[in-house]
A and B are shown apart, each in its own frame.
Chain A
Amino acid sequence: MRAGWTGRRQGVWLVALLAAVLGVALVAASCTRSAAPPQPKETRLTRVDLYGDPENLDPILKDKITALVLNSAIFEQLLNYDVVEKKLTAELATKWSASPDGLTYTFELRQGAKFHNGREIKADDVKYSFERLLNPDNMSPLSSTLASIKGAKEFTEKKATEVAGIKVTGPYSLTIELAEPDPTFLLRLTNICCSVVPKEEVQRLGADFGMKPVGSGPYKFDSWVKDSKVVLKANKEHWAGPPKTEVIETVIVKEAATRDAMFAAGQIDYMLIGDPQYLKYKNDPKWANNLVEVPELYTRHIAFNCQKPPFDNKLVRQAINYAIDRKALVDTLLQGKAYPATGLFPPTLMGYDPELKGYSYDPEKAKALLKEAGYAKGFEFEIVCTSHPAWGLPVVEAIQPYLEAVGIKVKPVLAEWGVMIDRGNSGDFQAYMYSVCGAVHPYDWVLLFHSKSFGGAGNRMRYSNPEVDRLVDQMKVTTDESEMVRLAREAEKIIVDDAPWWFFNYNKAVIVHQPWVKGLIPNPVDMDYQPLDKLSIEGKP
C-alpha cells in the first residue's frame, strides 16, 4: 500500500526541478540570439515590413518590395529615378547619353565612389554586375531586365563568354549597345537588380552574399534576425556624405492590428496603412496631419476573359463598367482610401489623360447594352479573387447587388493569390480581380494589352486589338517624350472603350508617421519604397 510513495521524497522537488530545468533551458535559448543592446546616442528610425521576411538580399534574386526597400539603401545603380520629379538622376553614373537611333548608351562613372569594403568602383564592376545578372547559372528571375542589350541572348544561352554589347572604354566609362530599341532601357537600369556589386565579396561569401550583402549605398548591412528584424547602419564614407539617420531598423510584422498597437506604443516611426485603418487615423486629430497620401501606380480591376462568352462581347464588358457605382464603393467600402478609376492610367503616371472621363454610373445604359448584346435576361459568372480587402472578396461581395440590379449574378471564387495567377495565366477563368502594374513608364502599362503578351506576360485577359498592338509597337521605337504621351493616350482610349477590365480605382497609398519623422515622400511606385537615406528624426522627445 505504501509502495507508491516511500521510495524517494521528491513530490514537490520534482516539479521544482522540472521548472528549474525549463527555466535554464529558456535562459540558454534567450542567449542564443544576438540582442544588441540599444545605444541611445544613435539616431534610430524604425520602419515596418508588412509582407514578411525579405528572404534574400542578393539584388539579382528579389524584386519583392520587402527586399527592394532595403537593397535600395545598401546598393547603388548607375542611375536613379526620382519618382516625385519624374526624372532620371545621377547615382554611380554622373553623365549619360544615348545615340540618336536609341541603340547606344554612353556612361561616365562617378570617381571616388567606394564599396562598403573600401574599394573604389570602376567600370569593370558594372560589367561584372550586369553579366552576373544575365548569367543563367545565377538563376536570377530578373535577368530579362537587361535582355535588350546586344549579345545578352548569346551570353544567356552560353554561346558567348561575355556580353558583347557592354564595353568598358576606360576606368570610369563604358558604353552599352542594345540589340533593339527599348524606350524603357534607362529606367530599367534604375532597377535594384542592376545594382553594382563587388566581385571579391560575391566570390568570398558565395550563397551567403544574399544573407550579408555588401554594396556601396548610404547604408551598410548590419544584422538580420530572420522573420523579425533587419538592421542597417549608416555608411559614413558615402560619396554624398553620411545619411541623416544612423541606424535604420526594419521590423517584420504582418498583422495589421499588431502594427497599429506597435505604432500607438511608439515602437514604429512610420508605416503604410490599409483601408481598415485609414479613417481611424484620418479622423484622429492627433494623426490627421501626419499622413502622406499618393495615388499609387496600380489600377485595381476585374479582368475579363475576352475569349470566353459572355465576355467575348465588348458590350457586356462595357455594361458591367456602367452598372457599378465605383465612386460609392470607394467612399464606403474603401473608406475613401482610393481614387475612382477614370481609365487605365493613374494620375501619377506619365501620360495620364485628365480629359478622359471613363465610365459613369448608369444602370439603365448597362441594361440597354446587355439587351443589345443578347443578354436581356442576364447571366451568371464567376470571379476568382483573393481575400484582399481592397481588390478581393469584399469588393466582389459589394458589387453583387449592383450587378444583380441589371440581371447579372456573380459568384465569388476565393483563391490564394498564386492559384488565381495560375488560372489567369492558363486562361482557366471567366473573370478575376487584381491590381497591377507598378511601372513608371506608360509603355509597360499598355504592353499588358498587346496581343503578344498573352498569359504570364500580363495579358491574361487575352485581349487583342490590332490598333492597340500597332500603337504599342510604335511606342517601342519612340524616343520623343511628347510623342510617347500622345501614343499612350491614344492606346488608353481604345483600351478603355474595349473594356477588357472593369476599371475600379487607383490605390490611395497612405503612410502615417510619428511627428518627428521628416523626409517622407509621396512615392507613387510603392509608398513603402521610401528613400531611407533621406529620412531623418527631428525633435523626438
Chain B
Amino acid sequence: MLLPLVVGITLVTFVLMNVIPGDPTISLMDPKRGQLDPQAAERIRQRWGLNDPAYLQYLKFLFNAVRGDLGFSFRFNQPVTRIILERFPATLELGLAALVIATAVGVPGGIAAAVRQGGWLDASLMGFCVAGVSMPVFWLGLLLMYLFAVKLGVLPAGGYGSPSFLVLPSLTLGLSSMAMLSRMTRSAMLEVLRQDYIRTARSKGLAERVVVYKHALRNALVPMVTVMGVQAGWLLTGAVITENVFGWPGVGRLLVDCIGQRDLPVVQGCVLFTVGMFALVNLVVDVLYAYIDPRIRLGR
C-alpha cells in the first residue's frame, strides 16, 4: 500500500517540478546581481545530471532513495537528507507543542461544553471555536505578535531559541486544531451521552463525574483520536505559514523556499519525508485505535 503511494507521489512531484519553467542553476544567482557565468552553469548542470532525460533523473533518484540517499543539493552543496534532518527538530518541536496545546485545551473544553450543553460556557466555547477555525492563520500570527511582542513586550516576536520563542508560533498553529478538536470532542461526547447505557449508568445512581469521565469519554475517544491523528499529520507537516510568519526554521519553510528556488532534490526529499511522517502518524493512530477499542484489530 505504502510503496505504490510513495512512487506515485514522488513521480507527481517530479513531473510537477520538471514542468515548472525556470532553470535550476538560476538558484545560484543572487537576485540583486542577476548574472551567472554560463560556463559555470553548464558545468553544474553536467555534474548533477540536469541535462539527462527526465526519466533517467527520476530513476536515479528512486534507485538512490531506496538506499536512503535522497540526493544532493548543489545549492547547499550538501546531501538532502542532512538538510532536512537539520530542520526537522524545529518542525517536530512546533508541531508537538501545537498538538499539546490543542489537546490540553481542546479536549477538556469539549467535555465541559458537552456536559453543560446549551449553557453559557458551551455557547461561548463553541463561539470561540468557530472563530478559531475561521481565522486566517497568518493574520492570527501577526495579531498575536503585535499584542504580545510589540505592545506588551513579554514574548519574542520571532526567531528560534529558548522555549519562550515557541509560545506564539505554537499558539498560532495550535488554535485551529484546538478549535477543531474541542468541537469534535463535544459532539462525540454528546453522541455518547445520549446512548442508553449512559442513561442506565445514571439511573444506577452513579455520580455524574464517573459517568462522564469513566463511561462516556472512553467511547467518545475513537472519533477524537481520529481527529487528533488528522491534526497531528497537519501540524507536523503543514506548518508552512506559521513557520514563515515567525521565522521558524522548519521543513515546511524549507520546502516552499526550495520550490521557489527550483531545488528539485530538496523538494523531492521534503515530499518523501512528509509523506513518511503522515504514514507514521497514521500508524500511531491505528495503534491507538486498537488500544482504545479492542474490537478494532491491527492489520485488518
Contact = CB atoms under 8 A, between A and B. Distances in A.
Chain A partners chain B: yes
A235 B72 CA distance: 33
B294 interface: yes
A4 interface: yes
Contact of B161 (A7, A25, A229): A229
Given A14-B292, A255-B158, A23 B37 contact: no
Given A11-B215, A141-B44, A458-B35, 17 more contacts: A5-B219, A14-B218, A18-B288, A65-B32, A140-B40, A142-B37, A144-B37, A144-B39, A225-B160, A227-B253, A228-B247, A254-B247, A255-B158, A261-B145, A264-B149, A416-B22, A434-B34
B29, B142, B158, B215 pick with most chain A CB within 10 angstroms: B158
Nearest to B92: A29
Interface residues of A, number: 75
Contact of B217 (A11, A29, A64, A257): A11
A58 interface: yes
B26 A418 contact: yes
Given A65-B30, A141-B28, A265-B156, A252 B247 contact: yes
Contacts of B78: 56, 207, 210-211
B32 A253 contact: no
B219 A228 contact: no
Contacts of B93: 26, 29-30, 33
B145 A4 contact: no
Interface string B78-95: 100001001101101100
A5 B215 contact: yes
B94 to A, nearest CB: 9
28 contacts: A14-B218, A22-B100, A25-B92, A25-B96, A30-B93, A33-B93, A55-B75, A56-B75, A139-B77, A141-B25, A141-B29, A141-B40, A210-B78, A227-B87, A228-B247, A253-B158, A253-B159, A254-B247, A258-B247, A418-B22, A418-B260, A418-B262, A422-B26, A435-B32, A436-B32, A436-B33, A456-B36, A456-B41
Contact of A261 (B39, B97, B150, B218): B150
A64 B31 CA distance: 8
A438 interface: yes
Interface of B: 21-23, 25-41, 43-44, 47, 74-78, 83, 86-87, 89-90, 92-93, 96-97, 99-100, 103-104, 107, 142, 145-146, 149-150, 153, 156-163, 166, 196-197, 200, 213-219, 221, 228, 244-250, 253-254, 257, 260-262, 288, 291-294
B260 to A, nearest CB: 6
Nearest to A1: B197
Nearest to A415: B21
Contacts of B90: 33, 227-228
Contacts of A18: 103, 228, 288
A30 B167 CA distance: 13
In the complex, the 5 A-B pairs of residues with the closest C-beta atoms, listed nearest first: A227-B249, A261-B157, A11-B217, A228-B249, A418-B22
Main SS class of interface, B:
helix
A2 B197 contact: yes
Nearest to B75: A55
Contact of A417 (B31, B39, B157): B31
Contact of B249 (A58, A141, A225, A457): A225
Given A22-B99, A228-B90, A265 B38 contact: no
Given A61-B77, A207-B77, A255-B247, A228 B218 contact: no
A247 to B, nearest CB: 14
Interface of A: 1-2, 4-5, 7, 9-12, 14-15, 18-19, 22-23, 25-26, 29-30, 32-33, 35, 52-53, 55-56, 58, 61, 63-65, 136, 139-144, 207, 210-211, 225-229, 251-255, 257-259, 261-262, 264-265, 267, 298, 416-419, 421-422, 434-438, 456-458, 526
B32 A457 contact: no
Contacts of A262: 149, 156-159
Contact of A139 (B44, B104, B257): B44
A417 to B, nearest CB: 5
A20 B100 CA distance: 9
A416 B104 contact: no
Contact of B26 (A225, A421, A434, A458): A421
Contact of B219 (A4, A10, A207): A4
A1, A10, A211, A261 pick with most chain B CB within 10 angstroms: A261
Contacts of A422: 21-23, 26
A226 B243 CA distance: 13
Given A26-B100, A265-B150, A265-B157, A136 B247 contact: no
Nearest to B160: A228
Contacts of B221: 11, 14-15
